[in-house]
Amino acid sequence: MAVNMKGKDIISIHDLSREEIDQILDTAQILKMKKKLGEIYHPLKDKTLGMIFQKSSTRTRVSFEVGMWQLGGYALFLSANDMQLKRGETIADTARNLSRYLDGIMIRTYSHQDVIDLAECSSVPVINGLTDLLHPCQVLSDLFTVKEKRQRLEGLKLAYIGDGNNMAHSLMFGGAKMGMHIVICSPSGFEPDSEITRLSRIDAAQTGANIEIVDDPVQAVQSTDIIYTDVWTSMGMEEEQEERLKTFSQYQVNSSLLEQAGEDVLVMHCLPAHRGEEITDEVIDGPRSIVFDQAENRLHTQKAILALII
């Protein structure tokens, strides 16, 4: 039986049940097929999505805006510079106002608390398009991509190499919910948040998943199905770039590291990529890479989220 997700906020994968995640992934598959077949499907006719961007984006903006249009609705881009938030209007007042105009809100920002506060005061569903803590929409799309390539999620091993950032956190939550073995490999001092690790292990205990934190990339990729990486210096941390380039120099995903993994290993990156830093051209453009399939699937998964909650 389908789970009713109308009006549900998408703030963290930790808040979703496995049934809800399965429904998002199944809906994404259906909507992708409809698009490939040229079918017109407008469940969100006359619906509006407000998109608040305090952090710039390529994939998040385009996938939500195009996705909303393909579903028959309208997406409104709201730059932080154009909103009263920049002049001191509270998140609560912004939520109450936007709820009178819109059918849903997507926000991409720095502070995770801002998303929580927005959702608490909004009468329409709120989608976390990214915060410094979590990136749930990306990982829901990643789960869809892996399932599409491997026909399953349970029992697969994914090794994430890099900073213990918002991507690492959401991969831990996503893998834990779906019964995957997630290995986060970060240098000392750059491990994932301890509370996120604790919560993901609670989820993992319910599904038979395993969450492991290591600091050796070669150890991390042994017998892995997927190698995943992200930029070493996230947006807002530019002043740390020089130090991070030195610290992460041994954490590059390159051909040598791929040789340590299984023959059929897949390579993923949430993009944008800093080629020559966390990943080499020969890997991201090579036969093991599913990076651009992964990017395309942001559209289909975002559409699934929108169709289910609005």
Catalytic residue among 14, 59, 108, 181: 108
**Token code pair at residue 288:** 């093991």
Cβ pair 29, 144 in contact under 8 A? yes
C-alpha to C-alpha distance for 189 and 247, rounded to whole angstroms: 10
Q: Is residue 137 among the annotated active site residues?
A: no
298 given a catalytic annotation: yes
Active-site residue among 230, 244, 269, 294? 230
Strand-pairing partners, residue 79, are 53
Neighbours of 246 (CB within 10 A): 8
Contacts of 136 (CB under 8 A, 6+ apart): 10, 11, 12, 13, 128, 170, 173, 174
The C-alpha atoms of residue 152 and residue 91 are separated, in whole angstroms, by: 40
Distance in Å from the first CA to the final CA of the chain:
19
Q: Which of 14, 269, 298, 300 is catalytic?
A: 298
State how far the Cα of 276 lies from the Cα of 229, in Å rounded to an integer. 13
Q: Is 26 a catalytic residue?
A: no
Catalytic residue among 14, 59, 112, 135: 135
Alpha carbons within 13 angstroms on the beta-carbon side of residue 61 total 12
Q: 262: which residues sit within 8 A by CB, 6+ positions away?
A: 223, 224, 225
Strands lying side by side in the sheet with 210-214: 210-214, 181-185, 157-161, 226-229, 266-269
Going by C-alpha positions, the residue among 154, 162, 143, 184 that lies closest to residue 290 is 143
**23, 54, 70, 138: which one is catalytic?**
138
Q: Of residues 103, 244, 270, 300, which has the active-site annotation?
A: 270
Contact 140, 162 (CB under 8 A): no
Using alpha carbons, select from 8, 214, 208 the residue that is nearest to residue 105: 8
Active site residues: 108, 135, 138, 230, 270, 298
